[in-house]
Amino acid sequence: MEHIRTTKVEQVKVLDRFSTSNKSLTGTLYLTATHLLFIDSHQKETWILHHHIASVEKLALTTSGCPLVIQCKNFRIVHFIVPRERDCHDIYNSLLQLSKQAKYEDLYAFSYNPKQNDSERLQGWQLIDLAEEYKRMGVPNSHWQLSDANREYKICETYPRELYVPQIASKPIIVGSSKFRSKGRFPVLSYYHQNKEAAICRCSQPLSGFSARCLEDEHLLQAISKANPVNRYMYVMDTRPKRRMQSWWATQKDIGRIIVMISSKIWNDEKIRESDERKRLNAMANRAAGKGYENEDNYSNIRFQFVGIENIHVMRSSLQKLLEVSGTKGLSVSDFYSGVESSGWLRHIKAIMDAAIFLARAIMVENASVLVHCSDGWDRTSQVCSLGSLLLDSYYRTIKGFMVLIEKDWISFGHKFSERCGHLDGDPKEISPVFIQFLECVWHLTEQFPQAFEFNEAFLLQIHEHIHSCQFGNFLGNCQKEREELKLKEKTYSLWPFLLDDQEKYLNPLYSSKSQRLTVLEPSTVSFNFKFWRNMYHQFDRTLHPRQSVFNIIMNMNEQNKQLEKEVKDLESKIKQRKNKETDGVPTKELLHSVHPESPSLKTSLCFKELPVNDALRTIEGSNSADNRYSDYAEAFSKSEPAVVSLEYGVARMTC
């Protein structure tokens, strides 16, 4: 609260960034410890979490007031006009402090209290059990074992404690391979396909050095290929663009030339200043200890595949270009599509999808195991492994299964959520939409296969909302070790039980569990199958031309059907009660009144007594006067005495 200078400002206007008439809403702006709240004149409330705020910009003073533009990580953009510049300045400074926390303990999750006791909190965290998930896959088995090599995080701090490796992989081999791989992230099991006996494994790239060879790493990859009794060949899928490898080999040659030149100068006693020489040697050592590629000559029974997914910096720039295009007012359709194309965003989505499709086909068609890696093995590797598993296994297309998938391939394997999402005030160059791209790939799959997923678009959007909200502990921190040190399971709550409590909102009405149980998805990645995700990037822009969701229409129809079914049951219950009373021979006064109406006019109208039969039957187009199809109805209408009114399924039937 010490950062809040002004708690309430009245007569604040909110502009609609896409409105052509510059219409605005006037209301009151409140600042709390966790939220910014705007209540307009219609008493509509807009809540914005401080942690959702990506940037705050105070524009030049105008005649109507001081503009304040807030851009959020969930792609909401709010344009306030504050009457007084002093109030605007106070709010601006307060939001700068409140939206950028210096330490984890100041995040919303550590103060959020949903009124659950410790037992309920613990049950929420125990909802996802990865040991049970690996059992569902069929491991451990005769080919794969649970290793305790990383039980104390001594080999790799960014991996989970429990890791699955080939049965024949000894601890010395694991340790040796970890020293050869970036950040110690050696090859481990991510997903096991029981029917094909093939595996998806993951790791980081090799450290190049000068020899670029590690016997232990070669033995570990051989162990992975031997763990597949069906196909001894395996793929090493490098998710980086292939041109990087070509430049890397050029760099290795340059390093060699530098070594020769420096050595020559040293041996010839040339006058080189010691400080300059030290700098050059340090630079050379850094490059020599840098990151490289597997040498194909050193690995047998292995095929290498490059899939060309760009790094986090390219992705961050691409998203920024996309947001600039989507936020531009008054663009023509052709200019909009041209801008989306030039941003490259959908091309990157396609590259990730292509990589996952290749992985799935390698397992399903060739029965081959696949080892996936990028640079450090926590960004592009997570995207491809999780998406490939989603294509292969229908369990991950359920609500619970999708939670398990995120826990397994993203949270436990050390995707740096806090750095990539900017939870703390850190290096902005580490922020990148890696997980957003994964969600968008899943959304594209739901568009191509509407019956294959138990969840709907709202489920994906809600998860995206909470990777930035810092309201729950699931996505805080950068690895499991860090989360254990923060004691998140003791001090914060898990997101998953809260999503399951609202499961009805996230159900896909088109989902067919029986037909999709054993189905492997084979999406098409031709260009016209990729489109702009409007509900992600414009979900808060209500004045845009509405695009009514088919899912929403079906959900509304389902709700209406449920309501009608309830009314039918109520009517059937009333009918049953009345029949019981009639059979008992004790008709109530109301029942007698309904059976024998006292009003002569009502009696006449009910029996159609004064209505001539010939006039009552209108000629229908295409019929003639000799047509006697309606004679039965005429005879029925001509009866004079009213009998009993009976109700069946809510429809009144009367005989006169």
> Is 203 considered catalytic here?
no
Would you say 105 and 17 are in contact if contact means Cβ atoms under 8 Å apart?
no
CA 183 to CA 194: how far, in whole Å?
30
| H-type alpha helices, 141-273 | 171-180, 215-226, 242-267
Please state the φ and ψ torsions of residue 218, each to the nearest 5 degrees: -65, -40
Please state the φ and ψ torsions of residue 32, each to the nearest 5 degrees: -115, 180
| H-type alpha helices, 407-494 | 417-421, 434-448, 457-469, 480-486, 488-491
CA 490 to CA 508: how far, in whole Å?
34
Burial of 130 (0-12, 13-18, 19+ CB in 10 A): middle
CA distances (Å), origin 264, targets 267, 269, 272, 280, 623: 5, 9, 12, 14, 111
Would the CA dihedral through 338, 339, 342, 346 be positive or negative? Answer: negative
Q: In what order do the strands lie in the sheet with 188-193?
A: 188-193, 198-203, 369-373, 234-238, 302-306
30 forms beta bridges with 8, 37
Residue owning tokens 């592009």? 380
Residue owning tokens 């000068």? 210
Report the alpha-carbon angle 547-550-552, nearest 5: 90
Q: Quick one: tokens of 626?
A: 């000799």
- At 475 the three-state DSSP class reads coil
Residue owning tokens 């050869």? 180
Would you say 254 and 248 are in contact if contact means Cβ atoms under 8 Å apart?
no
CA 608 to CA 611: how far, in whole Å?
5
- At 207 the three-state DSSP class reads strand
Residue owning tokens 């052709």? 334
CA 429 to CA 511: how far, in whole Å?
40
Q: How far is CA 257 from the centre of its chain?
A: 48
Going by C-alpha positions, the residue among 162, 17, 117 that lies closest to residue 76 is 17
Bond prior to 450 in cis (omega within 30° of 0): no
CA 344 to CA 308: how far, in whole Å?
13
What is the identity of the amino acid at 555?
M
Would you say 432 and 489 are in contact if contact means Cβ atoms under 8 Å apart?
no
Q: Quick one: tokens of 375?
A: 């640079």
Spot the catalytic one: 66, 374, 479, 607. 374
CA 234 to CA 294: how far, in whole Å?
14
How does 330-365 read in b/e, with b if 16+ C-beta sit within 10 Å?
eeeeeeeeebbeebbbbebbbbbbbbbbbbbbbbbe
Give the catalytic positions in this structure: 374
